[in-house]
Chains A and B, each alone.
Chain A
Amino acid sequence: MKTLKVLKTIKLFINGDFVRTESGRSFKMNNNDGETYANMSLASRKDFRNAVVAAKSAQTVWAKKTAYNRSQILYRMAEMAEGKITELENAITETTETPKIQAQLIAQSIVDTFVFYAGFCDKYQQLMSCINPVAGPHHNFTTVDAVGVVGLFADKEVSMQLFMDQLCSALTSSNSVVALLPKKYAAILAPLSEVLATSDLPKGVVNLLTGDQEELGEHFASHFELNSLCYLGDNSETKKHFKKQAAKNMKRIVLPKSKTLELENILNFVEYKTVWHPA
Chain B
Amino acid sequence: MQNQQLNNKKINEKKSGKNNQVKNTGSENVDHNQSSIFNFDYAPSLESTKVVNIQKKYDLFINGQFQKPKSNKYFKTINPATGEVLSELAEASKEDVDLAVQAANTAYEQTWSKLSGKEKGKYLFRIARLIQERAKEFAVLETLDNGKPIKETRDVDIPLVSAYFFYYAGWADKLDYLYPGKKVKPIGVAAQIIPWNFPLLMAAWKIAPALAAGNCVVLKPAETTSLTALLLAEVIQDAGLPDGVVNIITGAGNTGAELVKHPDIQKVAFTGSTEIGKLIAENISDTNKKLTLELGGKSAQIVFEDAAIDQAVEGVVNGIYFNQGHVCCAGSRLLVQESIAEVFVSKLKDRMAQIRVGNPLDKNTDLGAINSAEELEKIQKLIELGKQESSKYFEIDTALPKEGYYQRPCFFNEVSSNFSLNRKEVFGPVLSISTFRTTEEAILKANDTQYGLAAGIWSDKGYKIQQVAAKLKAGVIWANTYNKFDPTSPFGGYFESGYGREGGKHGLLPYLEIGGE
| Across-interface contacts of A244 in B (CB, < 8 A) | 281-282, 285
- Which residue of the partner chain A has the closest CB to B279? A247
- Which residue of the partner chain B has the closest CB to A144? B506
The verdict on A135 contacting B278 (CB below 8 Å), with A272-B490, A277-B481 known, is no
Describe A's contact surface by its main secondary structure: mixed
A219 near B: Cβ within 8 Å? no
Q: A247–B285 contact, CB under 8 A?
A: yes
Q: A130–B505 contact, CB under 8 A?
A: yes
- Which residue of the partner chain A has the closest CB to B285? A243
A277 to B284, CA, bound (A): 38
A14 to B504, CA, bound (A): 40
Q: A276–B278 contact, CB under 8 A?
A: no
A136 to B486, CA, bound (A): 9
| Across-interface contacts of B394 in A (CB, < 8 A) | none
Task: Give the contacting residue for B484; candidates A136, A246, A252; CB below 8 A.
Answer: A136
A127 to B179, CA, bound (A): 9
Q: B496–A274 contact, CB under 8 A?
A: no
Q: A277–B475 contact, CB under 8 A?
A: no
A272 to B506, CA, bound (A): 8
A28 near B: Cβ within 8 Å? no
The verdict on A247 contacting B281 (CB below 8 Å), with A135-B163, A227-B495, A277-B479 known, is yes
The 4 closest A-B pairs by CB, nearest first: A247-B281, A243-B285, A134-B486, A244-B285
Q: A274–B475 contact, CB under 8 A?
A: yes
> Could you list 10 further interchain pairs (A-B, Cβ under 8 angstroms) beyond the known A145-B473, A250-B496, A252-B499?
A136-B484, A140-B486, A227-B495, A240-B285, A247-B279, A272-B506, A273-B469, A276-B484, A277-B480, A277-B481
In the complex, how many angstroms separate the beta carbon of B443 from the nearest chain A beta carbon? 11
Q: B490–A274 contact, CB under 8 A?
A: yes
| Across-interface contacts of A273 in B (CB, < 8 A) | 469, 474-477
In the complex, how many angstroms separate the beta carbon of A151 from the nearest chain B beta carbon? 15
- Binary contact track B480-517/A, C-beta < 8 Å → 1, others 0: 11001010111110111111010011100000001100
- Binary contact track A229-260/B, C-beta < 8 Å → 1, others 0: 00000001000110110111110100001010
Task: Give the contacting residue for A240; candidates B286, B505, B515; CB below 8 A.
Answer: B286
Q: A250–B495 contact, CB under 8 A?
A: yes
| Across-interface contacts of A243 in B (CB, < 8 A) | 281-282, 284-286
- Which residue of the partner chain B has the closest CB to A243? B285
**Interface pairs (6), CB distance under 8 Å:** A135-B486, A243-B286, A247-B282, A250-B277, A250-B499, A274-B490
The verdict on A249 contacting B490 (CB below 8 Å), with A136-B484, A275-B477, A278-B481 known, is no
A138 to B479, CA, bound (A): 10
Task: Give the contacting residue for B475; candidates A227, A241, A252, A272; CB below 8 A.
Answer: A272
| Across-interface contacts of A278 in B (CB, < 8 A) | 479-481
Q: How many residue pairs bridge A and B at CB < 8 Å? A: 110
Q: A274–B477 contact, CB under 8 A?
A: yes
Task: Give the contacting residue for B278; candidates A130, A250, A263; CB below 8 A.
Answer: A250
The verdict on A132 contacting B488 (CB below 8 Å), with A250-B293, A277-B480 known, is yes
Question: Which residues of chain B in 226-240 are interfacial with respect to chain A, using CB atoms and an 8 Å cutoff?
Answer: none
A264 near B: Cβ within 8 Å? yes
The verdict on A249 contacting B282 (CB below 8 Å), with A140-B486, A272-B490 known, is no
A24 near B: Cβ within 8 Å? no
A33 to B497, CA, bound (A): 53
In the complex, how many angstroms separate the beta carbon of B401 from the nearest chain A beta carbon? 33
- Which residue of the partner chain B has the closest CB to A137? B481
Number of interface residues of B (CB under 8 A): 46
Question: Which residues of chain B in 177-216 are interfacial with respect to chain A, using CB atoms and an 8 Å cutoff?
Answer: 180-182
Q: Give the residue among B295, B489, B501, B514 with the most A Cβ atoms within 10 A.
A: B489
User: Could you say which interface size class chain A belongs to?
Assistant: 35 or more
A142 near B: Cβ within 8 Å? yes
B478 near A: Cβ within 8 Å? yes
Interface of A toward B, CB cutoff 8 Å: 127-128, 130, 132-136, 138, 140, 142, 145, 227, 236, 240-241, 243-244, 246-250, 252, 257, 259, 263-264, 271-278
B465 near A: Cβ within 8 Å? yes
Q: B481–A276 contact, CB under 8 A?
A: yes
A248 to B450, CA, bound (A): 11
Q: B486–A142 contact, CB under 8 A?
A: no
| Across-interface contacts of B484 in A (CB, < 8 A) | 134, 136, 138, 276
- Which residue of the partner chain A has the closest CB to B450? A249
Q: B499–A127 contact, CB under 8 A?
A: no
| Across-interface contacts of A136 in B (CB, < 8 A) | 484, 486
Q: B278–A248 contact, CB under 8 A?
A: yes
A131 to B499, CA, bound (A): 21
In the complex, how many angstroms separate the beta carbon of A65 from the nearest chain B beta carbon? 13
A145 to B474, CA, bound (A): 10
In the complex, how many angstroms separate the beta carbon of A114 from the nearest chain B beta carbon? 21
A277 to B295, CA, bound (A): 24
Q: A132–B486 contact, CB under 8 A?
A: yes
| Across-interface contacts of B285 in A (CB, < 8 A) | 240-241, 243-244, 247
| Across-interface contacts of A259 in B (CB, < 8 A) | 515
A246 to B278, CA, bound (A): 9
In the complex, how many angstroms separate the beta carbon of B356 from the nearest chain A beta carbon? 25
Q: Give the residue among A227, A264, A271 with the most B Cβ atoms within 10 A.
A: A271
A142 to B476, CA, bound (A): 9
| Across-interface contacts of B277 in A (CB, < 8 A) | 250
| Across-interface contacts of A249 in B (CB, < 8 A) | 450, 495-496
The verdict on A271 contacting B475 (CB below 8 Å), with A127-B180, A247-B282, A250-B281 known, is yes
Q: B476–A274 contact, CB under 8 A?
A: yes
Q: Give the residue among A136, A274, A275, A277 with the most B Cβ atoms within 10 A.
A: A274
| Across-interface contacts of A271 in B (CB, < 8 A) | 475, 494
Q: A264–B514 contact, CB under 8 A?
A: yes
Q: B278–A247 contact, CB under 8 A?
A: yes
Question: Which residues of chain B in 283-322 are interfacial with respect to chain A, using CB atoms and an 8 Å cutoff?
Answer: 284-286, 293, 295
| Across-interface contacts of B479 in A (CB, < 8 A) | 275-278
In the complex, how many angstroms separate the beta carbon of B218 from the nearest chain A beta carbon? 22
| Across-interface contacts of A257 in B (CB, < 8 A) | 515
Q: B496–A142 contact, CB under 8 A?
A: no
A132 to B501, CA, bound (A): 14
A145 to B475, CA, bound (A): 9
| Across-interface contacts of B492 in A (CB, < 8 A) | 272
The verdict on A142 contacting B506 (CB below 8 Å), with A134-B488, A135-B163 known, is yes
In the complex, how many angstroms separate the beta carbon of B147 from the nearest chain A beta carbon? 26
| Across-interface contacts of A130 in B (CB, < 8 A) | 504-505
Q: Give the residue among A128, A142, A248, A273 with the most B Cβ atoms within 10 A.
A: A273
Q: B281–A272 contact, CB under 8 A?
A: no
| Across-interface contacts of B490 in A (CB, < 8 A) | 132, 142, 272, 274
